[in-house]
Structure 1
Amino acid sequence: MAPQHTPALPRLGSRKPSHRERVADALRAALIAGELRPGEVYSAPGLAARFGVSATPVREAMLDLAKEGLVDTVPNKGFRVTAVSEKQLDEYTHVRALIEIPTTAALARTADPVALEALRPVAREIVTSAAAGDLIAYVEADLRFHLGLLALAGNDHLVDVVRDLRRRSRLYGLTALVEQGRLEASAEEHLEILDALLARDEEAVRSVMTRHLGHVRGLWAAP
């Protein structure tokens, strides 16, 4: 049985997006982590109780997710999480590999070491979240880490493309890794990536990133 998580909305007050945006971020993370299951219908009041907020921002946030194709509206009932096929997951992995591996590897030659070190607390947060079994915090920190790395390449459009691919992913295998005590080891790869970048070892970065995305695809498995 999957562990029960009833997390508060992440980092309220650490930045100032709208309440609707914060709710949408938390719902996306729960969806990507596999805590909101494909085919299941979720009501706004039910999700509001789970996340400790009112139903209105949840309903508004779910409408945003519907526009992104992550959920479908079910009249008079709520929202159904859309399923993602194995073919789609393979395609997402292929596109991510084409973008992220060479872009991240090139940062070994160009990235400011101070900017790279600034991402170390985020990498550690990924490890801490994995150790705690907090899947939503894990997904959010993982997103900030990888998009933060890609942003150092100076191509905003590239970052947007990867953000969209990640939003459409599903990491159903995260729960199994938590139960097996293996998620923390996977999380450590983020620190490996940083260390290789700081060592200016482009081939090592390429190797770790290739291994890391391979592990990610292993998690994108049907439940």
Structure 2
Amino acid sequence: MKQSAQGAARVPAQVRAMAVPEGRPRQREDALPGARGEHTHAERPIPGPRAVVQRSSVRGQILDALRTALVSGELKPGEVYSAPVLGERFGVSATPVREAMQQLALEGAVEVVPNRGFRVVERGARELAELAEVRALIEVPVMLRLARTVPAERWAELRPLAEETVRVAASGCPAAYADCDRAFHRALLSLAGNEQLVRTVEDLHRRAQWPLAGGPVRHARAGLVADAAEHTALLEALITRDLEVVRELVGEHFNGAG
């Protein structure tokens, strides 16, 4: 890993990488650090600011940056990205980038392309609908049970999180909203006291936030604002124990993959 004089690696605020085109001559495998056969000759250097990252958390911060790039659409479905070139963009060796990409492969966001890098998985509307169905099967009964048992004051404590989703939605940034959205749902479900439930649903939720193939980034600003408004409405229904409204809002929210 490349380091600055202070012993820290550098990572960009955003990820911008060009896909590796088909049919070009191969570049020497040792042209970039840790290339391992990934061909990067056609990828142009990516301009942009870099921020300092502590050594101990390089892989985690790169993983977060890549997840943000997926949600924002900077990493495009169907395109191939190489770890060495992304590493150059991050100011680190290819190794932590490759490790982060391997984690994304386990999550189903990308797939390994031998000797080239990682291809962003192309997803269609059917997969999004299937994710919504699975989430509804899990979360609707849980939320109805919690609505019957959790005191109103506990729900009221979550108002700042709901208000934060509204504020971030107004900014129009899909990646920032995705983080706030998951945090709100995580806080709701954590009241069930089942960590496995929370982890499973968070994985489904994250996958539902990835953009569809051939389409724009899933949420425009108006969509984000509408999604966040459902959070505040759901919280009020939970506080008043209006079970019919809770059932309706949770089901509709998943259809929007929120």
The question of a shared fold, defined as TM-score above 0.5 by the shorter chain, is answered with: yes
| Aligned match of 1:69 | 108
- Counterpart AA for 1:97: A
Corresponding residue of 1:54: 92
Name the SS of the counterpart of 1:168 in structure 2: helix
Q: Does 1:97 align with 2:136?
A: yes
CA deviation vs aligned residue, 1:26-74 (integer Å, no higher than 9, x gap): 4234324544221111233554577x66355333211211222221123
1:142 CA drift (Å): 0.8
Correspondence 1:36-55 to 2 at 5 A = 36-44=75-83, 47=86, 54-55=92-93
Corresponding position: 1:147 with 2:186: yes
Could you state the TM-score of these two structures normalised by the residue count of structure 2?
0.67
Aligned to 1:191, which of 223, 232, 237?
232
Cα distance in 1 for residues equivalent to 2:216 and 2:243: 29
Unaligned runs of 5+ in 1: 218-223
The verdict on how the C-alpha distance between 1:44 and 1:115 changes in structure 2, with shifts beyond 3 A counting, is farther
Task: Verify: 1:138 aligned to 2:138, yes or no.
Answer: no
Q: Cα–Cα, structure 1 residues 45 and 193, in superposed 2: closer, same or farther, change >3 Å?
A: farther
- Percentage of matched positions with identical amino acids: 46
Aligned position for 1:210? 251
Greater helix proportion: 1
For 2:206 and 2:174, locate their aligned partners in 1 and report how far apart those are by CA, in whole Å. Answer: 15
| Native 8 Å contact 1:130 1:184 kept in 2 | yes
Structure number, greater radius of gyration: 2
Gaps of 5+ in 2: 1-12, 16-48
Q: Matched residue pairs, number?
A: 206
Q: Say whether the 8 Å CA contact 2:14–2:65 is kept in structure 1.
A: no
Alpha-carbon RMSD across the aligned residues, in angstroms, is 3.1
CA deviation vs aligned residue, 1:111-152 (integer Å, no higher than 9, x gap): 244442343222222222221121111111111111221121
